[in-house]
């Protein structure tokens, strides 16, 4: 014999309960609204008080909530006046706003050449750019900063590029071109960035770039109108954007194994095109 225990369902009582709650909420909201209207009616109108309309909100989801709307609050905020500033005086942007300093690190193997060529280095920086320069031997760096004689804001960056070019291995006379011309840049990359070579293969790639007595390197420089520094596995190129691309393509071809004769032929074609464009 199986006995089933059943619980009385409360579903029948729920609707009635909800209905009674809804009725009480409506009654309470109507009562509150009537009290507010009676209170506003008793206010003295001669004192300049504003009348507010009371709108009861009857919603199933919101209980006992009243929204009050001001009948006279229709004015918009006024727009603020436009701020006008006087124009800058003549020459206000010609000089730097404050003194700026740059520190350019020098490799250990370039400290001795730096001491020998120091007179040729600080001369263009002080005379052409109007910068203050000093050599910090303890930190192995060159420090430059702007002064009252500095005329252009970009002079500090030009001076930093000039000292950096000398630190990479360029000659002083070649690096001075960075101060006089605006479209010269420095580009550096390694042989391993092009092709991962080790041992004798790496040595042969360096030999192909340099050539016998530096003949290949000088040919690339003259054809592309650039300056190249071959420092172990690092290659530094100085020149304009287009000329750097021509020299880099020739060096990459040599690293990948192209014979020098084929590279010379390509440089000859490129140099002839550059001459025709110059004309």
Name all domains of the chain by residue range, CATH numbers in brackets: 101-180 (3.30.1370.10), 185-278 (3.30.1370.10)
- DSSP letters, 220-276, are HHHHHT-EEEEETTEEEEEE-HHHHHHHHHHHHHHHHT--HHHHHHHHHHHHHHHHH
> Rounded to whole angstroms, what are the CA distances from 14 to 17, 25, 26, 86, 201?
5, 16, 18, 75, 90
Q: How far apart are CA 217 and CA 242, in angstroms?
A: 18
Q: How far apart are CA 165 and CA 171, in angstroms?
A: 8
Q: How far apart are CA 132 and CA 149, in angstroms?
A: 9
Residue 267, Cβ density class (10 Å: 0-12 exposed, 13-18 middle, ≥19 buried)? buried
How much is the pLDDT for 16?
45
In this structure, the strands spanning 132-136 and 141-145 are antiparallel
How much is the pLDDT for 163?
94
Q: How far apart are CA 160 and CA 162, in angstroms?
A: 5
The residue among 146, 150, 221, 227 whose CA lies nearest residue 185 is 227
Record the tokens describing residue 182, joined without a space: 């605006």
Q: How far apart are CA 187 and CA 185, in angstroms?
A: 7
Q: Tokens 């192209």 belong to which residue?
A: 258
- Spell out the residues 6+ positions from residue 25 whose beta carbon is closer than 8 angstroms to its own: 63, 64
**Contact between residue 66 and residue 57 where contact means Cβ atoms under 8 Å apart:** yes
How much is the pLDDT for 45?
45
- Spell out the residues 6+ positions from residue 144 whose beta carbon is closer than 8 angstroms to its own: 101, 102, 104, 125, 131, 132, 133, 156, 159, 160, 163
The residue among 207, 242, 208 whose CA lies nearest residue 225 is 242
Q: Tokens 């092009």 belong to which residue?
A: 194
> What pTM was computed for the model?
0.62
The residue among 100, 168, 88 whose CA lies nearest residue 129 is 100
Using 50 as the pLDDT threshold, list the residues of the chain that sit under it: 1-3, 11-20, 23, 44-54, 57, 62-64, 66, 69, 71, 95-96
How much is the pLDDT for 228?
94
Q: Is 12 helix (H, G, I), strand (E, B) or coil?
A: coil
């Amino acid at each position: 014999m199986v006995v089933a225990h059943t619980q009385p369902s409360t579903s029948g009582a729920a609707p009635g309960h909800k209905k009674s709650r809804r009725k009480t909420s409506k009654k309470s909201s109507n009562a509150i609204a009537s009290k507010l209207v009676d209170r506003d009616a008793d206010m003295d109108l001669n004192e300049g008080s504003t009348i507010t309309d009371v709108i009861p909100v009857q919603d199933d989801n919101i209980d006992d909530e009243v929204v009050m709307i001001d009948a006279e609050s229709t004015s918009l905020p006024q727009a603020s006046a436009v701020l006008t500033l006087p124009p800058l005086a003549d020459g206000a942007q010609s000089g730097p706003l404050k003194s700026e300093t740059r520190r350019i690190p020098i490799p250990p193997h370039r400290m001795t050449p730096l001491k020998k060529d120091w007179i040729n280095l600080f001369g263009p920086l002080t005379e052409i750019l109007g910068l203050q320069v000093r050599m910090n031997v303890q930190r192995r760096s060159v420090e430059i900063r702007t002064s009252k004689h500095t005329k252009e804001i970009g002079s500090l960056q030009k001076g930093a590029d000039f000292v950096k070019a000398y630190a990479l291995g360029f000659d002083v006379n070649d690096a001075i071109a960075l101060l006089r011309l605006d479209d010269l840049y420095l580009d550096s990359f390694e042989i391993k960035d092009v092709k991962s070579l080790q041992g004798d293969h790496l040595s042969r790639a360096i030999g192909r770039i340099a050539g016998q007595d530096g003949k290949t390197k000088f040919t690339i420089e003259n054809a592309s109108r650039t300056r190249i520094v071959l420092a172990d596995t690092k290659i530094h190129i100085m020149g304009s954007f287009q000329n750097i691309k021509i020299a880099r393509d020739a060096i990459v071809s040599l690293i990948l194994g192209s014979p020098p004769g084929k590279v010379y032929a390509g440089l000859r074609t490129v140099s002839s095109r550059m001459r025709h464009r110059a004309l």
